[in-house]
Structure 1
Amino acid sequence: MTVKGSGEQMPACSAGGVPLCVRTLKKAPKGGIVTFGSSVLVQTLTNAGLVDEYRILVHPVIVSEGRHLFQNLTGRTDLQLVGSETFAGGAMLVTYAPKRL
């Protein structure tokens, strides 16, 4: 696989190769990387220190099932709020960035 327009070869994005793939993609000159609904991928990227920003859509509903977004993490990541938006139905989009020490 190559990064579009760069001609640079990327490793296969297998389970063990995801952090290496993302590091390569982050070096590309354009665009960002977005993931939707993959708690395992978010956990992998968080543990590798590769997340620049978390955008979390919070709905005003409580459920007792489903996967937890932040489980199986190593260590602690302190976050700082960088933005928030409230929608008419009560949902909120909150944006956090990891605090860099």
Structure 2
Amino acid sequence: MKWIAGLLFCLVVVTGCVTEVVSSSEGEATLVVTRAGELATLSWKAEQGIVYVVMYADGGVGPRQWKVLPGAENLQAVSGDQITLSDHVPPGINRYYRLQILSVAR
């Protein structure tokens, strides 16, 4: 699959979050991740005409294997709507998230 824009943000959910900002000419969003026990909540303000996908990878030693978060592919807002998703994270797992742009239709 060809990605139109690269990584926007990468967050690690442990006891807090770390945000890494990478510029993109296609659009910009701030992915906010909160975690309460085994439930992680992800949200961002989407831009009209942009299709997003949320990827995740579980922590550990070595390279990360990024996967599409189930139910978080081809997400699109009507106009500046907030998109919110939930993810069940097993106990003791550090999970990383990233928000990517699939396509832009303006």
Same fold (TM over 0.5): no
With the length of structure 2 as denominator, give the TM-score of the two structures: 0.28
With the length of structure 1 as denominator, give the TM-score of the two structures: 0.29
Whose RCO is larger (CA < 8 A, sep 6+)? 2
